[in-house]
Homo-oligomer: A and B are copies of this chain.
Amino acid sequence: MLDAIDAAILRELQNDARISNKDLAARVNVAASTCLERVRALQRRGVLAGFHADADPAALGRPLQAYIAVRVRPHNRDVVEPFIRFVLDLPETIALSHIAGADDFLVHVAVRDAAHLQRLLLDGFTSRREVAHLETQLIFSHIRKWDIGPM
């Protein structure tokens, strides 16, 4: 399903999405035209879902990150879907997970400082009727692995 060349292409593009096709081809040892077609095939197949610049939240004035675990009651579609939309529309939100367990959602946010986080929690979350419980954990450091490979 994914041969050695595809895996190498994936690795290189996860490492640097702006590498030129020519350089990419040289790195994985195929002709540029072949490489281009393989990249497009990976996109068509959905293996390559997109290419994104990685901006540093700290450099954008948001040096503090946190996870907010949220319990939403009642936990049904009519309540959950607007809540998801609300969270994704918050500029503070970086990522949102819908999870199984005591908590229902884990929201990853980046904020200016502790006061900003407090305002977000009080005005943004606890003021909503469906939010039954909140638990916030500060993030000291967050490391994302860019090169995830096939298993």
Residues of chain A whose beta carbon lies under 8 Å from any beta carbon of chain B: 1-2, 10, 13-18, 45-57, 59-62, 67, 84, 88, 91, 93-101, 103, 106, 110-112, 116, 137-146, 148-151
Contacts and interface: CB of A to CB of B under 8 A. Distances in A.
Given A10-B53, A97-B142, A145-B95, A47 B60 contact: yes
Main secondary structure of the interface of A (DSSP, over half): mixed
Contacts of A15: 52
15 contacts: A13-B52, A13-B53, A17-B52, A45-B59, A48-B55, A49-B59, A51-B51, A88-B145, A93-B145, A95-B145, A97-B141, A100-B137, A103-B137, A106-B137, A116-B151
Nearest to A136: B101
A51 B148 contact: no
B16 A137 contact: no
A147 B84 CA distance: 17
Nearest to A135: B101
A128 to B, nearest CB: 19
A139 B45 contact: no
A101 B66 CA distance: 11
Given A67-B97, A95-B143, A96-B142, 8 more contacts: A17-B18, A17-B51, A60-B149, A67-B106, A97-B140, A97-B141, A98-B141, A100-B137
